Structure 1
Amino acid sequence: MQQPHDTPTLGKRAALSIAALGVVFGDIGTSPLYAIRECFHGEYGIAVTESNVLGVLSLVFWALLLVVTIKYLVFIMRADNDGEGGVLALTALAKPKQVRMGTPSWVLVAFGLFAACLLYGDGMITPAISVLSAVEGLGHIEPVFAPYVIHVTLGILVGLFLLQRHGTAKVGTLFGPIILVWFCVLAALGLPQIIGNPKVLSALLPWHGIEFLVENRAHGFVVLGAVFLVVTGAEAIYADMGHFGSSPIRLTWFAVAFPALTLNYFGQGAHLMANPQDAFHPFYAIVPHWALIPLVILATMATIIASQAVITGAFSLTSQAINLGYLPRLRVTHTSSTHIGQIYVAPVNWLLMICTVGLVLGFRSSSKLAAAYGVAVTATMLITSILFFVVARKRWNWSLPAAGALTVLFLMVDSSFFVSNMTKIFHGAWFPLLIGGVFFIVMITWEEGREILGAKIQGLTESLSAFMDQVLADKPQRVEGQAFFLTGSYDRVPMAMVQNMRHNKIVHSEVYFLHIRIEEIPRVPNMEKIELERFGSGIYRIIAHFGFMEEPKIATILELCKGLGIEADLETASFFLGREKLILGDKPGMGRLRAHLFLFLSHNAMDAAGFFDIPSEQVIEVGAQLEL
Structure 2
Amino acid sequence: MSQTPSQPTNGPGTPSHGSGHGHGRVGLAGLIVGAIGVVFGDIGTSPLYTIREAFSPHYGLTAQHDTVLGLLSMIFWALTIVVTLKYVTIIMRADNDGEGGIMALMALAQRCFPKDSRTAYVVGILGIFGASLFFGDGVITPAISVLSAVEGLEVISPGLHPWIVPITLAVLVALFATQRYGTARVGKVFGPITVLWFAVLAVLGVTNILHEPEVLHAINPYWAAHFFVDHTWGGIFILGAVVLAVTGGEAIYTDMGHFGARPVRYAWYFFVLPSLMLNYLGQGALVLEDPAAIRNPFYVGVPEWARWPMLVLATMATVIASQAVITGGYSVARQAMQLGYIPRMRIRHTSSDTIGQIYIPAINWTMMVIVIALVLSFGTSSALAAAYGISVSATMLIDTLLLAIVARALWPNWRRWVLPLCALFLVIDIAFVIANGAKVLQGAWFPVVLGIVLFTLLRTWRRGREILRDEIQKEGIRLDAFIPGLMLAPPVRVEGTAVFMTSDKGVVPHALLHNLKHNKVLHERNVFLTVETLTVPYAAKDRRLKMEPIGDDFHRVTIRFGFMETPDVPLALMRSCDQGGIAFDPMQTTYFVSRETIVAGAHRGMPVWRDKLFALMHRNAAPANQFFRIPGNRLVELGAQVEI
> Equivalent residues in 2 for 1:383-422 (5 A)?
383-397=398-412, 402-422=417-437
3-state SS, counterpart of residue 329 of structure 1: coil
Structure 2 residue aligned with 1:531, among 539, 542, 546? 546
Tell me, yes or no, if structure 1 residue 589 matches structure 2 residue 611. no
How many Å separate the matches in 2 of 1:510 and 1:243? Answer: 42
8 Å Cα contact 2:336/2:342 also seen in 1: yes
CA drift of 1:578 comes to: 0.6
> Equivalent residues in 2 for 1:269-284 (5 A)?
269-284=284-299
CA drift of 1:167 comes to: 1.5
Residue type of the partner of 1:579?
Answer: R
How many Å separate the matches in 1 of 2:413 and 2:477? Answer: 45
8 Å Cα contact 2:19/2:97 also seen in 1: no
Residue type of the partner of 1:591?
Answer: P
8 Å Cα contact 1:571/1:615 also seen in 2: no
Residue type of the partner of 1:35?
Answer: T
Could you tell which deviates more after superposition, 111-120 or 1-10? 1-10
Q: How has the CA–CA distance of structure 1 residues 590 and 150 changed in structure 2, closer, same or farther, with 3 Å as cutoff?
A: same
Structure 2 residue aligned with 1:441, among 442, 452, 456? 456
Tell me, yes or no, if structure 1 residue 233 matches structure 2 residue 248. yes
CA drift of 1:360 comes to: 1.0
Q: How has the CA–CA distance of structure 1 residues 17 and 400 changed in structure 2, closer, same or farther, with 3 Å as cutoff?
A: closer
8 Å Cα contact 2:70/2:223 also seen in 1: yes
The aligned counterpart of 1:49 is 64
8 Å Cα contact 1:118/1:377 also seen in 2: yes
Identity %: 46
Q: How has the CA–CA distance of structure 1 residues 429 and 60 changed in structure 2, closer, same or farther, with 3 Å as cutoff?
A: same
3-state SS, counterpart of residue 41 of structure 1: coil
8 Å Cα contact 2:407/2:415 also seen in 1: no
8 Å Cα contact 1:43/1:368 also seen in 2: no
CA drift of 1:222 comes to: 1.0
How many Å separate the matches in 2 of 1:2 and 1:520? Answer: 15
8 Å Cα contact 2:493/2:521 also seen in 1: yes
The aligned counterpart of 1:481 is 496
3-state SS, counterpart of residue 571 of structure 1: helix
Could you tell which deviates more after superposition, 450-459 or 399-408? 399-408
How many Å separate the matches in 1 of 2:60 and 2:359? Answer: 40
Tell me, yes or no, if structure 1 residue 192 matches structure 2 residue 217. no
Could you tell which deviates more after superposition, 44-53 or 69-78? 44-53
Tell me, yes or no, if structure 1 residue 369 matches structure 2 residue 384. yes
How many Å separate the matches in 2 of 1:479 and 1:526? Answer: 33
8 Å Cα contact 1:373/1:429 also seen in 2: yes
The aligned counterpart of 1:470 is 485
Tell me, yes or no, if structure 1 residue 58 matches structure 2 residue 96. no
Structure 2 residue aligned with 1:85, among 67, 85, 100? 100
8 Å Cα contact 1:3/1:83 also seen in 2: yes
The aligned counterpart of 1:572 is 588
CA drift of 1:622 comes to: 2.0
Residue type of the partner of 2:642?
Answer: L
3-state SS, counterpart of residue 339 of structure 1: coil
8 Å Cα contact 2:169/2:372 also seen in 1: yes
> Equivalent residues in 2 for 1:536-551 (5 A)?
536-551=551-566
3-state SS, counterpart of residue 588 of structure 2: coil
3-state SS, counterpart of residue 371 of structure 1: helix
Residue type of the partner of 2:582?
Answer: I
Residue type of the partner of 2:346?
Answer: R
The aligned counterpart of 2:11 is none
The aligned counterpart of 2:8 is none
8 Å Cα contact 1:123/1:352 also seen in 2: no
Residue type of the partner of 1:478?
Answer: R
> Equivalent residues in 2 for 1:199-238 (5 A)?
199-238=214-253
Tell me, yes or no, if structure 1 residue 618 matches structure 2 residue 634. yes
The aligned counterpart of 1:259 is 274
The aligned counterpart of 1:149 is 164
Deviations 1:231-288 (CA, angstroms, capped at 9, x unpaired): 0000110001111000000000011100000100001111111111111111111111
The aligned counterpart of 1:37 is 52
3-state SS, counterpart of residue 509 of structure 1: strand
Deviations 1:450-493 (CA, angstroms, capped at 9, x unpaired): 11110111112223322333244444443322111001112322
Computed over aligned residues only, the root mean square deviation of the Cα atoms, in angstroms, reads 1.8
Could you tell which deviates more after superposition, 402-411 or 377-386? 402-411
How many Å separate the matches in 2 of 1:171 and 1:269? Answer: 34
What number of residue pairs does the alignment pair up?
A: 627
How many Å separate the matches in 1 of 2:370 and 2:458? Answer: 20
Residue type of the partner of 1:16?
Answer: L
How many Å separate the matches in 2 of 1:210 and 1:103? Answer: 41
Q: How has the CA–CA distance of structure 1 residues 171 and 222 changed in structure 2, closer, same or farther, with 3 Å as cutoff?
A: same
Residue type of the partner of 2:563?
Answer: F
Could you tell which deviates more after superposition, 152-161 or 462-471? 462-471
How many Å separate the matches in 1 of 2:278 and 2:247? Answer: 18
CA drift of 1:219 comes to: 3.6
How many Å separate the matches in 2 of 1:43 and 1:162? Answer: 36
The aligned counterpart of 1:510 is 525
Deviations 1:6-30 (CA, angstroms, capped at 9, x unpaired): 8999961111110111110001000
Could you tell which deviates more after superposition, 143-152 or 2-11? 2-11
Q: How has the CA–CA distance of structure 1 residues 358 and 110 changed in structure 2, closer, same or farther, with 3 Å as cutoff?
A: same
